[in-house]
Amino acid sequence: MPDDAHARWPLGIMIVCGYEQHALPAQLDVVRRLGATHVELYPRWTGRPDARDVARTVGDFGIAVWSAHGPWGSETWQPGRVDLAATDAAARRASVDDVRRAIAWLADAAGTRLVVHPGVLSDESQLAARRAALVESLSELAPVAAGHGVHLCVENLPPTCWPGSRMSDLVAIVSELAATHVGLCLDTGHANIVADAASFARTAGPWLRTTHVHDNDGTRDEHRLPGQGSVRWADLSVALAEIDYCGVIMIECPRYLRQRPDEVNDQLRQRLADLCRRPGHSPP
């Protein structure tokens, strides 16, 4: 591993694609100005954006596609809702089909991490049934993901998602599957509402494949920039180093950055560079 890889994690920025009002070049200019080397794509799945065209545009800016946010809720390929833990058999099969299409799409876009939600808002009394449905869905999708060289990354969700809110529940499922291309995504904002980001990172351990990094006040999912809420970033960095995380620090604040272009400045660049620095390594 190069020395720089030991010293810092790569920086990524989530951008949207397939939305006429949000041109890719303008977003990629912001990504480059922030010093990021990777992007996560948030596609408008119903618009069927051309994956290879998106990849070419991203590559023209000297940036790499790292990941994509898979279909979830009503953000789907086909009409309906995506819920991989649905206890209704037809709904679960339709959800699996939607994610299967997204895996192939991401492979065409030259990405390797597809973030998927483990379910939707639900009642804790449904936990056992929804867990069984989620395990079945991931079992069906695991060989598809492996065949495309894509890692399915199950994201921890805000409170009252069963399973999904507790990282320990997701670790138990992923470790039970023991599939090479199924892992976890740490969402720092969601973790900050449920517990804290550092403890969730340690719980995820070797299963952590990617991140969604944003801040909040501990009560609402605000998707603010790091440093604008109560996430303890220094503690998170220590935890990521302890588990030897080797993925991207992916900033998930696309709307915030679009609405506040004046905040793309030297101060923010330095804050993000500090966030990506592994503990014990000084700036050059």
Domains plus CATH for the chain?
3-276 (3.20.20.150)
What are residue 211's DSSP bridge partners?
186
Residue at 107: amino acid letter = A
Question: For residue range 163-190, what is the model confidence (pLDDT) as tens digits?
Answer: 999 999 999 999 999 999 999 999 999 9
For 42, the token pair is 């948030």
The pLDDT assigned to 6 comes to 77
For 158, the token pair is 């805000």
Do 199 and 171 touch, CB atoms closer than 8 A?
A: no
Question: For residue range 67-114, what is the model confidence (pLDDT) as tens digits?
Answer: 999 999 989 998 889 999 999 999 999 999 999 999 999 999 999 999
CA 141 to CA 138: how far, in whole Å?
5
